[in-house]
Amino acid sequence: MDKLLRSLHTLGALVMFIGQVARSAVTPPVYLGETLRMMNVLAKRCVIPVSLAVAPVGAVISLQGISIFKLFGAERMLSSFLGTAIFREYSPALASVMVAAQAGSSIAARIGTMKVRGQIDALAVMSVDPVRYVVVPGVLACVIVAPLLSVLTNLLGVFSGWVFAVPIGGIDHGAFMEHLTAQITPADLWIGLGKCSLFGLGVGLIAGYLGLNVGKGAADVGKAANDTVVSTIVLILLVDYAVSMALLGAGL
Amino acid sequence: MADPTSTPDDTPAVVLDNVSKSFGDHTVLDGVSLTIQRGSIAVMLGPSGTGKSVLLRCLVGLLQPDRGRVLVFGEDVAALDEKRAADRKRLFAIRRRFGMLFQDGALFDDMTVFDNVAFPMRLHTQLSEQAIHEKVSDRLARVGVAHAEQKFPSELSGGMRKRVAFARAIAIDPDIVLCDEPSSGLDPVMSATLDELILELHRTLGMTFIIISHDTAEARKVADTIGMLANGKLVTFGPAEQVFAENHPALEQFFTRATVGPIKVV
Ligand SMILES: Nc1ncnc2c1ncn2[C@@H]1O[C@H](COP(=O)(O)OP(=O)(O)O)[C@@H](O)[C@H]1O
Ligand SMILES: [Mg+2]
């Protein structure tokens, strides 16, 4: 009972926090320089891990796919399966999970460190709203960087799939390119980017909330970073599943 | 920025009216009342853990007292809730009249020394980057860290961080400067230099200082008002000569570094 009350309290605080972030993001002053700086930091932190995560996926789909498609004599069609899998599912999910792991943890750790070392109070005493100055730039950066990363993972996933299908697997390059986009529509690409922005939003908000509400010491900062990663990854996978089901249901 | 015209001249800089603050069942401030006139230098003494920092945090609205009023130039900060947008605006307007040196500096880790001191100038003044450069260099030279402009806080000693934090606190010529133990961690020469600087800023710009200190030499040198906080109560407070003359037992114990007296080591 006590636990339930506390969860409700946290949920209420989170909702209020989200309201404050939303209001701060659309009313002046907006700290654009901080936002650009955060985008730069986050993009640099994410680009290599996200590449390393998606490249093997494209390769594995091609490797596994060829042997199965061959049973039906349909290996020319392989790329349509690869394209669908990468563009619709793997690319947005992997990009988002990596944003959660890298960007989410670094935002939560940065804000948490500022909090335990009194820098958040210092900002407030200098009449700078910490939500505006440190939370909003992190949230905006996640919302923008996550879809940009998924563009990268789209290209890389397809490229590594191509390497294992065409030069190594012996599939005709023309056929590969012809079928690559056969099963996907521009809407799929937009939905993928939209999902990434949505997940980036969730990562930025949760990281900001847990960072600002960190406990008292260095160990609590680690905990805030860790909690951010775990909760956002679970959230991403659940919401991704729900969105995919809903879109399939809607015939998209 | 020093703007003596904005409120009548005789409004005190700070009035605490029966302020109490507890954390759980631990009462830290227990009905503290005091008045600090504008343009004065008040030094607050007291053993560690009695709530001196809590007192300063109440002045700028970082903590809300459970009871009592905290008047800054006549406006009650304790009645403002930072979580509410309208109150936040009022609070931020009041805070712009403060500069604050936190006990552990609270410099921004990801900014150089220069950018730390320039930060409030860039946010709250219309100064050109050129003018900011000159002013920051001047402030850093006065606290003796001109050579470290481009260093990051993590590359400085504790005493240097404190001096940079002082430079940041006075960056935009605030009306009231709050200093939480400015001299702890400084060598005697540096500490004396800082005292001189406080006296000079007081003389030339008329800044009001509220200084928390353990350093009795510093108190004698700069204070025109002295207060002592012990066990949640203000045990003495008043003009420096008077307080020194009356020689309250707690103050006496503090000044003579005696282990026996009203201040209990728990
Ligand atoms: N945010 C807080 N939450 C709980 N207790 C606090 C908080 N801030 C200060 N305290 C407690 O209040 C007391 C006074 O602290 P402080 O004002 O920092 O002492 P000092 O006089 O040394 O500056 C200490 O016992 C401290 O543990
Ligand atoms: Mg203190």
Tens digit of pLDDT for each residue in B63-98? 999 999 999 999 999 999 988 888 999 999 999 999
Q: In sequence order, what are the residues at sequence separation of 6 or more whose Cβ sits closer than 8 angstroms to the Cβ of residue B20?
A: B27, B29, B30, B31, B32, B65, B66, B67, B68
The answer as to whether B170 is a domain residue is yes
More confident residue, B18 or A70: B18
State whether B153 and B192 are in the same domain.
Answer: no
Per-residue pLDDT averaged across A66-86, rounded? 87
- Residue at which a domain ends, from B174, B200, B227: B174
Alpha helices in A73-217 (DSSP H): 78-84, 91-98, 105-116, 119-125, 130, 136-165, 173-180, 186-212
* Cβ–Cβ below 8 Å for B124 and A23: no
pLDDT at residue A223, as a whole number = 95
Rounded Cα distance, B105 and B103, in Å:
6
Ligand 1, atom 5: closest residue by C-alpha: B23
pLDDT range class, residue B265, cuts 50, 70, 90: low
Would you say the CB of residue B23 lies under 6 angstroms from ligand 1?
yes
Would you say the CB of residue B50 lies under 6 angstroms from ligand 1?
yes
The answer as to whether A62 is a domain residue is yes
The answer as to whether A24 is a domain residue is no
Could you tell me how many helices (H) and strands (E) chain A has, helices first?
11, 0
Q: Which of A114, A117, A127 sits opposite B96 (nearest CB)?
A: A127
* Cβ–Cβ below 8 Å for A127 and B92: yes
The answer as to whether A250 is a domain residue is no
Looking at the predicted structure, is the pLDDT value of residue B266 above 60? no
The answer as to whether A180 is a domain residue is yes
The answer as to whether A165 is a domain residue is yes
Looking at the predicted structure, is the pLDDT value of residue B185 above 90? no
Looking at the predicted structure, is the pLDDT value of residue A45 above 60? yes
pLDDT at residue B264, as a whole number = 67
The answer as to whether B167 is a domain residue is yes
Do residues B232 and B68 lie in contact, with contact meaning Cβ atoms separated by under 8 Å? no
Do residues B226 and B244 lie in contact, with contact meaning Cβ atoms separated by under 8 Å? yes
Judged by DSSP in three states, A78 sits in helix
Tens digit of pLDDT for each residue in A235-249? 999 988 888 888 888
The total of structural domains in chain B comes to: 2
- Residue at which a domain ends, from B139, B174, B209: B174
Per-residue pLDDT averaged across A33-43, rounded? 95
Q: Residues of A with CB below 8 A from B158's CB?
A: none
State whether B166 and B86 are in the same domain.
Answer: yes
Looking at the predicted structure, is the pLDDT value of residue B151 above 70? yes
Length of chain A: 252
Closest CA to B215 of B262, B263, B183: B183
Alpha helices in chain B (DSSP H): 52-59, 85-95, 113-124, 129-142, 158-169, 188-205, 216-222, 240-246, 249-256
Closest CA to B139 of B185, B180, B172, B181: B172
Judged by DSSP in three states, B81 sits in coil
Q: Residues of A with CB below 8 A from B92's CB?
A: 127, 129
pLDDT at residue A251, as a whole number = 76
The answer as to whether A181 is a domain residue is yes
Instruction: Give the range of the structural domain holding residue B152, as residue numbers without chain letter.
Output: 80-174
Per-residue pLDDT averaged across A10-29, rounded? 92
The total of structural domains in chain A comes to: 1
C-alpha separations of A101 from A134, A204, B144, B184 in Å: 19, 11, 43, 41
User: What is the ipTM score, two decimals?
Assistant: 0.91
Instruction: Give the range of the structural domain holding residue A196, as residue numbers without chain letter.
Output: 31-241
Per-residue pLDDT averaged across B110-136, rounded? 95
pLDDT at residue B6, as a whole number = 54
The answer as to whether A216 is a domain residue is yes
Tens digit of pLDDT for each residue in B234-254? 999 999 999 888 877 777 777
Mean pLDDT, chain A, as a whole number? 92
- Residue at which a domain ends, from B174, B195, B215: B174
The answer as to whether B74 is a domain residue is no
Per-residue pLDDT averaged across B30-37, rounded? 96
More confident residue, B99 or B263: B99
Rounded Cα distance, A127 and B204, in Å:
25
Type and span of the H or E element at B23: strand B14-23
State whether B85 and B164 are in the same domain.
Answer: yes
Per-residue pLDDT averaged across B128-140, rounded? 96
The answer as to whether B149 is a domain residue is yes
* Optimal mutation site among B53, B123, B129, interface A, most CBs of chain A within 10 A: B123
The answer as to whether A2 is a domain residue is no
Looking at the predicted structure, is the pLDDT value of residue B3 above 60? no
The answer as to whether B206 is a domain residue is yes
- Percent residues over pLDDT 70 in chain A: 99
State whether B256 and B229 are in the same domain.
Answer: yes
* Cβ–Cβ below 8 Å for A127 and B123: yes
State whether B63 and B180 are in the same domain.
Answer: yes
State whether B187 and B169 are in the same domain.
Answer: no
Would you say the CB of residue B53 lies under 6 angstroms from ligand 1?
yes
Provide the CATH number for the domain around residue B138.
3.40.50.300
